[in-house]
Structure 1
Amino acid sequence: MKAQDHLNQLVRLARKIPVDSRVPYAFEKRIMARLPKVQLPDLWTLWGRMLWRSAVPCLGVMILATAWSGWLDNPSDLSDIDLEAAIQAPIQNLVEASW
């Protein structure tokens, strides 16, 4: 029981000590030195990796689109006059609308 009395007396004395609001010298440096250094990833490296990863699916889509367009029935009976009229139609509409 005597040990418990000594402990209680020590706790009472510790509570009477005023709280110091100042920070110890170099406290921040000591804390920061203990934290592990977090390295930020290089953005150009990440960008390059993502581009290489996306190249394979893009190549696959390109090959599928090429094969699909090759198997379609593409009638090529569009004459040169029809092509010229299709290209010049929006320009002629603009000219006629402005007059």
Structure 2
Amino acid sequence: MKQKLASLALLTLAPMAAHAELVEMQDAELAGVSGQGITFDFNFTFDKVIAGVDVYKNVYGYKLSSTDWELGQGSEVSNPVSGGRYLNRSISVGNDSGDKFVYRYTAWGRN
């Protein structure tokens, strides 16, 4: 029991030891500071036949810079047995070199 209490006491003191001294920066020094850029790129795809229906789903996104990014998803469902009926949908939002966009697409019918 005493060992557990000692461990808890050490844990409560740990944050105080980790504090660093703050140093004031001048404007000239601040001008040279830049933020950390975060980039990402992902693409997840689901493509299966479920109860005779072809199902396709894609979710994607990327970011190269603050003015070059896109997030989107697309899906396609088709039934070749019942007259070739299909439904396609997609949506994407992004920023292409400063030009923001939202793109939506829906199509349905028979092949």
Q: TM-score normalised by the shorter chain: which range applies? A: under 0.3
Q: Which has the higher contact order (CA 8 A, sep 6+)?
A: 2
TM-score of the aligned structures, taking structure 1 as reference length: 0.25
Larger Rg: 1
Give the structure with the larger strand fraction.
2
Give the structure with the larger helix fraction.
1
TM-score of the aligned structures, taking structure 2 as reference length: 0.23
